[in-house]
Structure 1
Amino acid sequence: MTAARGRSLRSWTAAVFAVYFASGLATSAWLTRIPSIADSLGLGPAALGALLLTQTVAAFASVSASGVIVLHLGAKRTLALFSTMVAVGLMVLGAGVTFLQSLPVTVVGLLLFGLGSATWNVAANVEGTALERGLGRSIMPMMHGFFSIGTVLGAGVGSVAAATGVPVVWHVSGMAVVVFALVWSSLPYLQGAQREALLRRQDLQPITSQLTIITGTLPVVSRDDDGVARTPGDGPDSSGSRSGAAKDGETPLSMRAAWRDPRTVLVGIFVLGMALTEGAANDWVALALTDGYGAAESLGAMGYGIFVAAMTTGRMSGTWLIDRFGRIFVLRIACSMALAGLAVFAFSPSLTVGLISLFLWGLGASLGFPVGMSAAADDPVKAAANVSVVSTIGYGAFLGGPPLLGLLGEAVGVRNALAFVMLFVVLSFLLIPWLRPLEAEREGPSGRGGTPSR
């Protein structure tokens, strides 16, 4: 590798890390101020749950269209457009909460945030996948680690802002400016589009052909030199020009078959339980600390920071742990930790113990969603369809979780309502055997496949 190429790759890597870091900052900017948002708008738990649902619905709609958007705009232009949308959404949200105390304006801000953040994340994953190909090695866990670092730092800023009485509008608007500056200063160093063009000239499979796997939603349509539109699984030569393509008679993108596959559906239910475990903390921990434990808003933001710090720790160490001890063993320990942390947080009379339990909860919840996605993609021939099914089922937690927990919180209190999530953690624990690696199952106990027993 020449010195110039090495510098170029380092700059590209730093730019991608910055994009992920900025996404974490943006996410934590408003989540840490949920107690202030609820107080300013006069929202109880049920109404707050409905408000949170607006962001989730917008994100779900956005991610469903993200494949087409990234395909037509490219990752760089998509990041430019949708990070701007996120920044504007944060400012509108802040104005609605502080200046206008208007629920409709706040809803508009959350809709803009949801629409922008979901497609931003998909575009970042596309650019990150291109970077991995350029580097010739996997660094995706580190990329998502930088997102988590952003959430931790953002939670710290939110805690200070809440403790010092900084109005929501100035806090989230300041973070919006930082996020906008980080992303736009990184754009000139992103090289995914150039690399993809080079791959097309070399007749190799470009990154955008993997958008079905990255988004889990839409098939990608490209055009051959003769102008004929084809999906990645089509073409006269199925053996040499397509990476991971199906052989004759196989149907790798058969959604009907994926929905009928028991393992895929059960992996999806596992992901749903763990996604609810993670999402419940993101949405409700700060309010549970202020309303349930009677803590100050700054401690509510700190509690969220503890949880995301634990998530960061778990995800940064998860790859090594799974390689060392096996997927099944690690997931059983993780689910047990999540269940224990959640139970202590819901029922402990001590605020100090409750804060400590958040770290245990975060560690346990950290690996469920990403490992579930990996399990869905165990069979490379069926990966796109299986990941799509698992993603769709998992998103049910983000769609149904906020209003359900809000209604329960209205009746029994937010902290007690979180105990309901324990049922889903138990369900996910019982489904862990279905996440055994398929390759290890095929090899049996005599091969490399001691892994399933772990």
Structure 2
Amino acid sequence: MVAVLVFFALNGVVFGSWASRVPALAEQIGAAEGALGLALLGASVGMIAAALITGGLAAAYGARLVLGVSTLASAAAVPLLGLAPSPLALGLALVALGACVGAFDVAMNIAAVTVIRSTGRPLMPVFHAAFSFGGLIGAAGAALAVTTGLRPFGHLAIVGVVVALVLLVFARQVPNEARPVAEEVEVRGPAPVRRPVLWLLAGVALFSAVAEGASADWSALFAADYRGMGEATAAFVYGAFSIAMAITRLFGEWAQRRVGGHRLLVFGALLGGGGLVLTAATPVTWVTFLGFGLAGVGLAYMFPIALDLAAASGRRADGTGGERELSFVTAIAYSGFLAGPPLIGGIAHLSDLAVALGVAGVIACVIAPTALAARAAGRRESETAGV
């Protein structure tokens, strides 16, 4: 379990490190906002492509091997961002990094499923808490690099070395799920794309990605431009969202045991969506902090529980399986990170950012009926299989 927690934190460190250096990377390539935005799409493209195939690779070769290779590849790819001389070069480097991190992400979640099944504990939100705290560590390291005048290549090279060293220490401790028995390999079941329950769980993850991305990308700008906060104070608004999400995930096992996965999705969606709508509608400073804090609490469980339920829906009679299902839902969710920023930005351009955040809140609330529909679809599948 500890090794898997470490890899979740490492994934967060990689993301938090390079994402926090975007302003410096923009200066490095001399890109305007439009060109930079296109370059940044490269990461999402790479992540989606990798997520689509990683489940099959993990099923064939084991999550431990795929996780080790993708982690090492991420460590090698992240410094390349600091060498990019143009928007095109940065975009290509981000496609490569996105593919590595996407495979890393899917493989670590599959390893987490193995731990959950072996312990019988609903730990997926706790693993994602490690990712959240890793992201905060990565962002703090980036801030230190900026204050010391360290250029992106030097900073990201250090990150890559640290990730590689931690990999060497913990790689062999990652659990590998037992290979399925021969009869179970023969009966793989329907493809994920043909299962309504997986499309609905993918919808939960997709809507969560849009709402989470809106909170992360636009909270500081909204606080500064629409609520009149100074730049430093506005940065704390994003901090309130991130820290609330990270801390809430630490209590995920307790909450999931007492409330249940589908109910947590419903309650969290209404709380998180309501927080964003409250923030958008109320021009009061303390309400802005409260609203984004509620969004962090409400959205904390959406993505990890959707992945947990997807993997559970693919579990075979011998206790193995779920890799393809988890990979499918993850790939759909990544499209939310791809489409979310231009969606929210476009709405803000046509109206204003307060309206755009309100729309993001409504999208989060849609998770509630989607989760209920996923529970009903799962029950229908179970009844059909039992006939």
What TM-score, normalized to structure 1?
0.68
Query: Aligned equivalents of 1:190 and 1:85: distance in 2?
Result: 19
- Aligned-residue sequence identity (percent) comes to 26
Indicate if the aligned counterparts of 1:264 and 1:386 stay in contact, CA closer than 8 A: yes
In structure 2, runs of 5+ residues without a counterpart are 382-387
Query: Aligned equivalents of 2:272 and 2:119: distance in 1?
Result: 35
Report how far residue 61 of structure 1 moved. 0.5
Query: Aligned equivalents of 2:111 and 2:299: distance in 1?
Result: 26
Indicate if the aligned counterparts of 1:21 and 1:146 stay in contact, CA closer than 8 A: yes
**Matched residue, 2:32:** 43
Query: Aligned equivalents of 2:287 and 2:149: distance in 1?
Result: 26
Query: Aligned equivalents of 2:255 and 2:116: distance in 1?
Result: 21
Indicate if the aligned counterparts of 2:106 and 2:326 stay in contact, CA closer than 8 A: no
Match status 1:333 vs 2:316: no
Query: Aligned equivalents of 2:243 and 2:137: distance in 1?
Result: 9
Indicate if the aligned counterparts of 1:54 and 1:110 stay in contact, CA closer than 8 A: yes
Residues 74 and 358 (structure 1), Cα distance of their counterparts in 2 relative to 1, 3 Å cut: same
**Matched residue, 1:424:** 363
SS in 2 for 1:252: coil
Q: Which moved more, 1:320-329 or 1:127-136?
A: 127-136
Report how far residue 368 of structure 1 moved. 1.8
Report how far residue 119 of structure 1 moved. 0.9
**Matched residue, 2:8:** 20
**Matched residue, 1:53:** 41
Residues 128 and 371 (structure 1), Cα distance of their counterparts in 2 relative to 1, 3 Å cut: closer
Residues 91 and 82 (structure 1), Cα distance of their counterparts in 2 relative to 1, 3 Å cut: same
**Matched residue, 1:70:** 58
Report how far residue 86 of structure 1 moved. 1.8
Amino acid at match of 1:361: A
**Matched residue, 1:324:** 258
**Matched residue, 1:433:** 372
**Matched residue, 1:232:** 185
Query: Aligned equivalents of 1:431 and 1:77: distance in 2?
Result: 34
Residues 341 and 439 (structure 1), Cα distance of their counterparts in 2 relative to 1, 3 Å cut: closer
Report how far residue 284 of structure 1 moved. 4.2
Alignment RMSD: 3.9
Amino acid at match of 2:247: T
Query: Aligned equivalents of 1:37 and 1:409: distance in 2?
Result: 25
Query: Aligned equivalents of 2:348 and 2:214: distance in 1?
Result: 12
Aligned equivalent of 1:175, options 133, 140, 159: 159
Indicate if the aligned counterparts of 1:286 and 1:301 stay in contact, CA closer than 8 A: yes
Deviations 1:305-344 (A, max 9, x none): 4323222222222332233234555434322321233234
Query: Aligned equivalents of 1:77 and 1:390: distance in 2?
Result: 21
Report how far residue 59 of structure 1 moved. 0.4
SS in 1 for 2:251: helix
**Matched residue, 1:404:** 343
**Matched residue, 2:82:** 94
Q: Which moved more, 1:420-429 or 1:346-355?
A: 346-355
Matches within 5 A, 1:117-266: 117-132=101-116, 139-161=123-145, 167-187=151-171, 189-190=172-173, 192=175, 206=179, 209=180, 232-234=185-187, 252-255=189-192, 257-258=194-195, 261=196, 265-266=199-200
Residues 283 and 55 (structure 1), Cα distance of their counterparts in 2 relative to 1, 3 Å cut: farther
In structure 1, runs of 5+ residues without a counterpart are 1-12, 197-204, 210-221, 225-229, 235-250, 443-454
Match status 1:80 vs 2:14: no
Residues 356 and 36 (structure 1), Cα distance of their counterparts in 2 relative to 1, 3 Å cut: farther
Query: Aligned equivalents of 1:143 and 1:50: distance in 2?
Result: 31
Report how far residue 42 of structure 1 moved. 3.9
Indicate if the aligned counterparts of 2:201 and 2:310 stay in contact, CA closer than 8 A: yes
Residues 57 and 427 (structure 1), Cα distance of their counterparts in 2 relative to 1, 3 Å cut: same
Matches within 5 A, 1:230-309: 232-234=185-187, 252-255=189-192, 257-258=194-195, 261=196, 265-285=199-219, 288=222, 302-309=236-243
Report how far residue 290 of structure 1 moved. 6.3
Report how far residue 159 of structure 1 moved. 4.4
